[in-house]
């Protein structure tokens, strides 16, 4: 578990391959100084991904519309997307709807089959348990011949919906820090227990906290040395085994 300091395009390949890659790049949607699109990380991420792995990318629709050719040229296929709904919102413009969501899009390698991708579909308790138990008639003949009685038991769990509510951290280390709960859902879905996550744009190291709490190995990378040192301090305070740079253990 570590946070590398520097450009992910130079540093991450050394630590590959990853079971899952997280990418939360600057969207390039605003005039803010730090909000500049990063080029050419897409192709590198493909090279760093295991054939069974996938890449989850945070971004606005505007960002994805602009970057779609880059994902395609890199050899990435779209898998699905979720919407992160943040009740407290982040929009600053007075002439638009108040923005209370972000997209998170999953891609996988074009040379891989979706059925081979690690995919632990998350389930959550149902709001209402089904009252009925369906039975198939024992004498019914199915495609593959006569089948026995079948009972359907409602275990009270349902597949998680693609719109996920989570509050943005307030007073965190990074202005666009992502919530631990949301990161945990993505990690559980796409990284096997004990697997390794590459976080190309680590910011506050929030994904490092989420990954380590649930038993995944984390390698983050952050280009801003001040932000990286804050993220390192955050993880070192939580996890005594955190691999601090300069630590000779």
Ligand X SMILES: C[S@@+](CC[C@H](N)C(=O)[O-])C[C@H]1O[C@@H](n2cnc3c(N)ncnc32)[C@H](O)[C@@H]1O
Contacting positions for ligand X (CB under 6 A): 7-9, 24-26, 38, 174, 176-178, 201, 203-204, 206, 221-224, 227
CB of 23 to ligand X, least distance (A): 9
In whole angstroms, give the CA distance from residue 94 to residue 181.
30
CB of 50 to ligand X, least distance (A): 21
CB of 156 to ligand X, least distance (A): 32
CB of 5 to ligand X, least distance (A): 9
Give a three-class secondary structure readout of 111-170.
CCCHHHCCCCCCEEECCCCCCCCCEECCCCEECCEECCCEECCCCCEEECCCEEECCCCC
| CB-nearer residue toward ligand X: 52 or 58 | 58
| CB-nearer residue toward ligand X: 204 or 212 | 204
The residue of the chain with the least Cβ separation from ligand X equals: 203
| Contact indicator for 172, 234 with CB cutoff of 8 Å | no
CB of 129 to ligand X, least distance (A): 36
| CB-nearer residue toward ligand X: 52 or 104 | 104
Pairing mode of beta strands 49-59, 101-109: antiparallel
| CB-nearer residue toward ligand X: 3 or 52 | 3
* CA angle 249–208–12, rounded 5-degree value: 75
Across the strands, what pairs with 117? none
| CB-nearer residue toward ligand X: 86 or 174 | 174
How many CB atoms are closer than 10 A to CB 12? 24
């Amino acid at each position: 578990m570590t946070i590398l300091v520097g450009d992910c395009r130079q540093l991450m390949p050394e630590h590959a391959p990853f079971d899952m890659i997280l990418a939360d790049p600057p969207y390039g949607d605003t005039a803010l100084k730090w909000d500049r699109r990063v080029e050419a990380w897409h192709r590198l991420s493909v090279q760093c991904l295991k054939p069974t792995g996938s890449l989850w990318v945070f971004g606005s629709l505007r960002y994805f519309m602009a970057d779609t050719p880059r994902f395609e040229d890199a050899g990435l296929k779209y898998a699905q997307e979720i919407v992160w709904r943040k009740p407290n919102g982040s929009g600053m413009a007075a002439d638009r709807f108040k923005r209370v969501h972000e997209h998170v899009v999953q891609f996988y390698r074009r040379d891989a089959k979706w059925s081979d991708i690690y995919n632990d579909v998350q389930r959550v308790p149902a709001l209402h348990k089904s009252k009925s138990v369906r039975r198939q008639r024992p004498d019914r003949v199915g495609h593959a011949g006569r089948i026995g009685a079948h009972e359907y038991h409602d275990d009270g769990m349902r597949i998680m919906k693609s719109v996920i509510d989570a509050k943005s951290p307030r007073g965190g280390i990074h202005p666009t820090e992502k919530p631990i709960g949301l990161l945990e859902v993505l990690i559980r879905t796409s990284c096997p227990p004990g697997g390794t996550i590459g976080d190309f744009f680590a910011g506050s190291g929030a994904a490092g906290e989420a990954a380590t709490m649930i038993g995944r190995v984390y390698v983050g990378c952050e280009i801003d040395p001040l932000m990286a040192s804050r993220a390192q301090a955050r993880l070192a305070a939580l996890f005594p085994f955190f691999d601090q740079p300069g630590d000779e253990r």
